[in-house]
């Protein structure tokens, strides 16, 4: 499944008590040439405090604490399975509440309450003679947001420079944003996955920062390479966007 191009392989493990999956298998499945291909792997299992529990792995097999687009996809899948439109999902230390707004075959529009965001710090980076203000934001996982006038430069090199700063010894998700006509255009380089077509938590972090800096209002349309996400920045951040069920199958491990 994918949420506006942010694609994951989802493993339905609700009928099993064994949730273990090796790093080797995660990397093989996520390989876009020799496996299925995806930004990561999501293991769906039973929860004692919500409808289901999800565990997130980036494509390099490193664990992740939050993924908004994957959460919306899980809600779509479980909603159809349980014939429910309101779904609660345990993810890390959070319980995320989702609302399925409509389903049309393999497509759905799903909202998720991402909770509160917190601005932790700001820093100044000088890169190739240009100063960039970096906003460190916690939206359940850490993001570094910076605003630029346009994308007429090597965004990848800027993201690499930010991720390699000594203060980010465990890496960080980077969001490079352009504000135009009360909308945000965002490119995201995720820790453990690299550049992705979309990132839900990155959209939330960017919208929250833009509102905090007076660049936008409460309701922000975030445009990423894979599509658009509607972000409502209130006491809690509500993210709404499309999901698509692509296919299911069996992955055979090489002997």
Q: Which of the following is catalytic: 59, 67, 73, 189?
A: 67
57 compared with 20, residue with greater pLDDT: 57
CATH 3.20.20.70 describes domain 118-234: no
Mean pLDDT of the chain: 96
| pTM across the whole model | 0.94
**Strand 6-12 with 40-45, pairing:** parallel
Give the tokens for residue 23.
């790093």
Examine the pLDDT at 184 and tell me if it is beyond 80.
Answer: yes
In this predicted structure, what is the pLDDT of residue 255? 61
Each as own residue / partner, the long-range contacts of residues 167-171 (CB below 8 Å, 24 or more positions apart, any chain) are: 167/123, 168/144
Tokens matching residue 195: 């550049």
159 catalytic per annotation: no
Span 11-30, average pLDDT = 91
- Average pLDDT of span 19-45: 94
Question: 2-113 maps to which CATH number?
Answer: 3.10.310.10
Catalytic site residue 67?
yes
Domain with CATH 3.10.310.10 in the chain: 2-113, 118-234
Catalytic residue among 59, 98, 199, 243: 199
- For residues 9-35, give the mean pLDDT: 92
Q: Which helix (H) or strand (E) holds 78?
A: helix 68-82
């Amino acid at each position: 499944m994918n949420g506006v191009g942010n694609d994951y392989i989802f493993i339905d493990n609700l009928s099993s008590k064994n949730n273990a999956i090796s790093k080797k298998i995660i990397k093989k499945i996520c390989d876009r040439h020799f496996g299925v291909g995806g930004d990561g792997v999501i293991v769906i299992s039973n929860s004692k405090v919500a409808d289901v529990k999800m565990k997130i792995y980036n494509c390099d097999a490193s664990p992740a604490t939050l993924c908004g687009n994957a959460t919306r996809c899980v809600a779509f899948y479980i909603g159809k399975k349980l014939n429910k439109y309101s779904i609660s999902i345990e993810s890390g230390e959070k319980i995320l509440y989702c609302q399925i707004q409509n389903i049309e075959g393999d497509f759905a529009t799903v909202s998720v309450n991402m909770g509160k965001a917190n601005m932790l710090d700001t820093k100044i980076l000088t890169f190739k003679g240009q100063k960039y203000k970096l906003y460190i934001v916690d939206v359940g996982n850490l993001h570094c947001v910076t605003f630029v006038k346009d994308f007429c430069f090597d965004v990848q090199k800027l993201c690499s420079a930010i991720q390699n700063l000594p203060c980010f010894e465990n890496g960080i998700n980077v969001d490079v944003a352009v504000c135009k006509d009360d909308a945000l255009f965002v490119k995201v380089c995720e820790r453990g996955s690299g550049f992705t077509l979309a990132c839900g938590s990155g959209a939330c972090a960017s919208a929250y920062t833009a509102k905090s800096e007076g660049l936008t209002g409460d309701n922000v349309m975030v445009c990423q390479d894979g599509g658009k996400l509607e972000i409502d920045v209130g006491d809690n951040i509500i993210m709404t966007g499309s999901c698509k069920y692509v296919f299911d199958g069996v992955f055979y491990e090489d002997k």
